[in-house]
Chains A and B, each alone.
Chain A
Amino acid sequence: GQQLNQSPQSMFIQEGEDVSMNCTSSSIFNTWLWYKQDPGEGPVLLIALYKAGELTSNGRLTAQFGITRKDSFLNISASIPSDVGIYFCAGYYNAGNNRKLIWGLGTSLAVNP
């Protein structure tokens, strides 16, 4: 089946540092979603991207829909302790007449105050 390669798998950074993570695939996607999951909670949508090249911000978070439609990145600027959690990318691609959603394996972020 289709796969999303999300990297890095984990990050340990100092408070105040910027963070970058990305998802890539060999398939073409028509929507990218970035979610954050706090420990013991369900994923919460951070940013949704719908067009190739789209660059969208949500506070200190910025995500882009890659121009090739095969990748997306999420940046977090000036990290703070509450940024700790697991970040998942998810993308929709067309499979025949159906639209399918697949998920990356997640990037675990730890922030040292």
Chain B
Amino acid sequence: EPEVTQTPSHQVTQMGQEVILRCVPISNHLYFYWYRQILGQKVEFLVSFYNNEISEKSEIFDDQFSVERPDGSNFTLKIRSTKLEDSAMYFCASSSQGYGANVLTFGAGSRLTVL
């Protein structure tokens, strides 16, 4: 079964450092998403991406965050200068077009720990 893969599974970084989280969405999907989940809390939307541009972003997705699709397969989330409160699980998701665009398939997540 096709799946969304994310790397790294866990990253520990010092506050102020840049972090890049990588995702390989399902190959025929066209919509890509990043979500965040702070430990024990709900899943929070960060950003959606379609046709090589951001289609929607939440207020969490401030200037410290950026997304990129550098090639035909990867979708990355960059946090420019990490803060302690950025510690969370970050989930990438993708969906196909049309009717299937309603259903998001999630990766297993990347756990970010900021010290």
Q: Could you tell me which A residues sit within 8 Å of B by CB distance?
A: 31, 33, 35, 40-45, 48, 50, 88, 92, 98, 100-101, 103-106
Contacts and interface: CB of A to CB of B under 8 A. Distances in A.
B42 A43 contact: no
B105 to A, nearest CB: 7
Interface of B: 4, 41-45, 56, 91, 93, 102-109
A33 B102 contact: yes
Contacts of A100: 56
16 contacts: A31-B102, A35-B106, A40-B108, A40-B109, A41-B108, A42-B4, A42-B93, A42-B106, A42-B107, A42-B108, A42-B109, A45-B105, A103-B42, A103-B45, A105-B42, A106-B43
B42 A106 contact: yes
Contacts, number: 42
A80 to B, nearest CB: 22
Contacts of A41: 108-109
A101 B45 CA distance: 9
B37 to A, nearest CB: 8
Nearest to B101: A99
A36 to B, nearest CB: 11
Given A33-B104, A105-B42, 12 more contacts: A31-B102, A33-B103, A42-B93, A42-B107, A42-B108, A43-B43, A48-B103, A92-B102, A98-B56, A101-B104, A103-B42, A103-B45
A31 B99 CA distance: 11
